[in-house]
Structure 1
Amino acid sequence: MKKTAIVLAISGLALASAAQAAPQANTFYAGAKAGWASYHDGLTQFERLDGLKTGHQRNSVTYGVFGGYQITDNLAVELGYDDFGRNKVKYKGQTIGKHTAHGTHLTLKASYPVLADLDVYARVGAALVRSDYKTYDDSFVGEGFPGRRGHDLSTSAVFAGGLEYAIMPSLALRVEYQWLNNVGKKSNSLSTDYRPDVGSVTAGLSYRFGQGVAAPEVVTKKFAFSSDVLFDFNKSSLKAGGSEALDGMTTEVANSGLASPNYNVAGYTDRIGSDAYNQKLSEKRAETVANYLVSKGVEQTNVTAVGYGKANPVTGSNCDTVKGRKALIACLAPDRRVEVSVQGAKTVTM
C-alpha cells in the first residue's frame, strides 16, 4: 500500500466576514461632516435695490453633526443638526444684507452595497430650519436701508445621496450631496417671497457603536489518517512518517485561528482478529496519537482518546469475496484508520 497520509479536511466551518459599509442592524451611529454650501434661486430680486446695482455671495462653509439608528442592514433613521451656510447681498464689495440658516433634520436613509465595504445611499425627510436675516446700516447705501434683524422658522424638504465607505467596522467615511427645498420665507417689497434652495457637498466621518464585536463561532474540522501511515500492521507505536502526518494536522489547526481547540481522537481496526483484541488495539492507537499531540503542546485536558475496535467499517462488503490473508489485509486497509475531530471557537470580526 502506498504510505501517504489521507489528511482530509472533511468539514470545516471556516467563516468569512465581508464588512458592508452600513452598520449592523439594531445599532446606533454618530458622526460629523463639513463642506461647501450654495444658495440657489430667489437671489435675482436683490440685483437692484432702488437703482443700485448689487451682487451676492451664494457660497459658504457648511458643517453639521448627525446620529442614526440602523433599523435593518439597509435602512436607518437619521437625526442631525446642520449649519446650512449663508448668503450675502453685496454693494461695491461690501455686505449690506445676510441670510443664515441652521436647524435639525430627520430623514430615512436607505443604502445598497456596491462593494464589500462601499455603499451607495439616499436620504429623504424634512428639516426644521431657522433663518436669520440682517441688513446693515451703511451710510453709502442711504437712509432707506437702516440696520435691521429678523428671523423665521420653517420646514423644508431634504433630499440627499452619497457614498459611504467602511474604513473599519466601527468607522466609516461618507461623501454626500444634500438639497434643501425652500429654506425660510422672507417677504419684502422688492419682489416675491424670498425662499431659496440650499445645496451642499460634504465629507464626514461616523462612528458605529457595537461594531467590530468579536463574535465567537464554533468551528469543527475533521481529519482522517490511514492507520498504515501512522502504525505498522498490528502495532500501536507511532512510525516516523506518522509523526509528520500529525504535525501537518496540528500546523493546519494552529493556522486556522481556533482558540483552545479540543481534539477528539477515535481509533479503528479492521475485522481481522477477535473483538476484544481489536478493541484493545484501537484504544492503544488512539492513546498514542493523543499522547503525541500533548507532546507537541496541546493541553492534555483538551484531548480525548477512544477506541472503537472493528466498529463502523468503511469498506462494507467490498472485501467479502477476497481470498488469501495478504489480499484481505490490503483490501481492509481503509478500515484501519484514526479519525481526529477538532473543535474550537474562532473569533470573527463583524
Structure 2
Amino acid sequence: MKKQALTIILLLVSLVTNVQAKENDGWYFGTKLGWSTFNVDQYKNKNINNKNTHGHELSGAPILGLFLGYEFNPYFALEIENDTTGFFPYLMLKKNIENKQINSIQLATKLSYPITDELKIYTRLGGMMFWDNLFSKEDLRHIFTKNSALFPNVSLGAEYTFNEEFITRLDYTWKSSVEKVMNLSMKPNLGDAVLSFAWKFGKSSINDMFSSYSIPESENKQYVALNESINFPFNSTELKPISNDKLQNLNNKIKNIQSKNVFIMLSGHADKIGNKEYNQKLSEDRAYVIKNYFTSHGISQDQISIQGMGDEYPLTDQICKDISSKPLLVSCLAPDRRVEIEVLSD
C-alpha cells in the first residue's frame, strides 16, 4: 500500500513538472490536512462495533492529501487528488496494532463565486474511490454496485489568494455511498473538515511578453522600450504587494538604461462600473499613484506624463458583457483596473 501511495504522489509531482513547462493559465498544486469521520476499521473489517485495544471508539481519522487543479476561469475548475486517511502504526496507542489507513483518489469539478479579487466561496462536486489495490479487477468490477467503494461527494468552502499566487482554503465535504444515492437517502456517510494550501504556477503573462524589447540601432540612436501593466483592486488606488515587486523590477531596469533621456508615459484605466466622471477621476488617481512611486525613487517628474483614460479602453468588453451579478462582474473586470506603463529612451 505504501508503494502504491508513493506511486500516486510521484505521478502528481510528474504532472506538475510537465504542465509547468507549458506555461498555461490556471494550474495550481497543493496539499491538504484535516479530519475525516471515515472509520478505517469499519471499512477494512466491516466491524460496526470496532474499538481499539483500549476500548475507545475510532470515530474518525486524520486525512492528508495532494491535489492538482486547473482553473479555466474565475468560476470553473477541475481537480484530481490523492488522500491518505487513517493512522500510521507509530501514532497508535499500541505499537503492535495493525496499520489503520486507507487511500483514495478523487475527481471533482469546482464552481466558484468571487466575493472580491482575492476571496471566493466555492462548491466542489465529484466522486472518490477508496482503494487497497487500484489495479484490482475485483475492485473495478464493483465500482457501480451497492457495495461500491465509490463515494459521490459535495464540498462547500472559502478560498483566499495571497499575492495572486498562494492559495489557502477551508472546506467541509459530505460523502455518501452509492447505495444511499440509489436509495435517494439524503443522509451522508462521511464528512471531512479540511484546510488546504496551494500554489498557482505556469500562468501566462502577456505583459511579460512585452516587458523588454529593443529596436535596432538606426542613425547612431538607440531606442529602448519597456512596458508593464499594474492592476488595482476594485474601486481603489491601493497598490497590491505583487505590484510593488513589478514596479521595483521596472525601476531597476530604468536605472540600467545607459541614456539619460528617459521618458515615462502612464495611462490610467478604470472598469465600466460607476459613472463616467467618477471613472475618469479614478483612472487619473491610479496613474498619479504610479507617478509618485517613480518620483520617490529618484525619477524626475518632468520625465513622466500622465493621462486618464477612464473606462474607454476595456480589455474585457466582450468577455464580461453578459454578466448581471455584480460580484461576478467585479471579478471579471479585474484586468480593466490598471495603469499601463511605457518607458522610452533614445
- Please indicate the TM-score interval, normalised by the length of the shorter structure: 0.3 to 0.5
Larger Rg: 1
Superposition TM-score, scaled by structure 1 size? 0.41
Q: Specify which structure has the higher proportion of helix.
A: 2
Q: Specify which structure has the higher proportion of strand.
A: 1
Superposition TM-score, scaled by structure 2 size? 0.42
